[in-house]
Amino acid sequence: MTLLEHDRAADLIARRGVEDLAAADAAWLKSHLSECPECAIYVAAFEQTGQLLRSYTITATSALVTRTQSLVRVRAEQLRERQTRMVLVAVSFCIGVLFSTASAWLWWKAGDSVVRWLGLPESIVAPGVLLFWLLPAIAVAVLMVVVPQTVLTNPLTPSLAREREEEIR
Ligand SMILES: [Zn+2]
C-alpha cells in the first residue's frame, strides 16, 4: 500500500459524503478499504465525527450572518473588479500593439527625414525603429502599473464591510 493510495482513499472518503463518486472511484475505494485496515479505521473515525457534528445544533448569530454576507458581497465586488481589470488589460494590450505598429511604421517611413532635419547621425535610424516600436508598450505598461493601485485603494471596498459591521452595533 503506498502513501499515494492512502491519500487517494482519504480524499475519496471525504468527498463521498458531499458528492457522488464516479463508479470507478467508488469501486476502487471499496476494494482499498477491504484490504487496508488503516483506512478502514479512518472511515470509522470520519463517520463518527460526522455524526457528532450533525447532532449539534449550530446557530449563527445575526452579527455573524451579517458579517458573512458583507464579506461575500465584498468578495463578489473584488471578482467583478478583477474581471473589469482583465478587460482593461486586454484593451490596453490591443491599443499598445496598434500604437507600437503605427509609431514604428511612422519612424520607418519618416525617421530618415527627422534625423536629417535634426542633424543627428544616420546610424540612429535603425535602433530608432526599435525604440518607437517599444515606446507605446512601455507607456501602456507604466499605465497598467499605476491603474490597478487606484482600483485597489478604492475606498468603497473596505468601507462596504465596515459599514455593515457598524449597523450591527
Ligand atoms: Zn489505505
What does the pLDDT look like over 15-27, one tens digit per residue? Answer: 987 888 999 999 9
d(CA 52, ligand 1 centre) in Å? 24
Ligand 1 midpoint to CA 123 (Å)? 72
Ligand 1 centre distance from Cα of residue 43 (Å): 10
pLDDT in tens, 89-142: 888 888 888 888 888 888 888 888 888 888 888 787 778 778 878 887 888 778
39: Cβ contacts below 8 Å, ≥ 6 apart:
6, 9, 10, 13, 32, 33
Distance CA 167, CA 146 (A): 34
Residue type, 27: A
How many angstroms from the chain centroid is the CA of residue 29? 33
Cell of 120: 543627428
Positive or negative torsion for Cα 4, 7, 12, 13: positive
In this predicted structure, what is the pLDDT of residue 33? 95
Task: Between 158 and 41, name the one with better pLDDT.
Answer: 41
Residue 8, pLDDT above cutoff 60: yes
CA–CA dist 6, 165 (Å, integer): 44
In contact, 36 and 3? CB cutoff 8 Å: no
Q: Would you state the pLDDT for residue 31?
A: 96
Question: Using a CB cutoff of 8 Å and minimum separation of 24, what contacts does 31-36 make?
Answer: 32/5, 32/8, 33/9, 35/1, 36/1, 36/5, 36/6, 36/9
- Tell me how far apart the terminal alpha carbons of the chain are, to the nearest angstrom: 56
145 phi and psi angles, rounded to 5 deg: -70, -35
Cα(16) to ligand 1 centroid in Å equals 16
pTM (whole model) above 0.75: no
State in Å: Cα 28 to ligand 1 middle: 11
**Does residue 41 register a pLDDT over 80?**
yes
